[in-house]
Amino acid sequence: MKYLLLLAGEAGVGPAPGSEEFMQMLADYQSATEAMAAAGVLVDSGPLQDPSNATTVRVRDGQRLVTDGPFAEIREQLGGYYVVDCADLDAALDWAETIPAVRYGSIEVRPLMVEIPG
């Protein structure tokens, strides 16, 4: 089953860019990603640009409304994602635990809907 791992955290929490700790965190991301690829569970992954670069689209009364910024004003922001293909939720949780974002924020693990109920 495929799972989306959404990496969330608060801005400014975690190692400062350029610091030794930050460089180690980047190495840890690379190690986690390489381990997922080697295990054959990695489908896709990537970092997201800052929420200030987001554009949100809504349609109301047949009219498209476009807003600069994220869809919700919250303290936590999405920083990246992984899509993994695992045997079950426990395996997906094990892989989520290897991602450095778990040390500074949280990772939401959500199964992808493969069939539309109906």
Over its length of 118 residues, how does the chain's per-residue pLDDT go in tens digits? 999 999 998 888 889 999 999 999 999 999 999 999 999 999 999 999 988 888 889 999 999 999 887 666 666 788 999 999 999 999 999 999 999 999 999 999 999 997 666 6
CATH 1.10.10.60 for domain 2-111, yes or no, is no
CA-to-CA distance for 75 and 99, rounded, in angstroms?
21
Instruction: Give pTM, 2 decimals.
Output: 0.85
Which tokens belong to 59?
Answer: 């349609």
CA-to-CA distance for 23 and 74, rounded, in angstroms?
27
One-letter amino acid identity for 63? Q
One-letter amino acid identity for 38? A
3-state secondary structure of 97: coil
Residues constituting the chain: 118
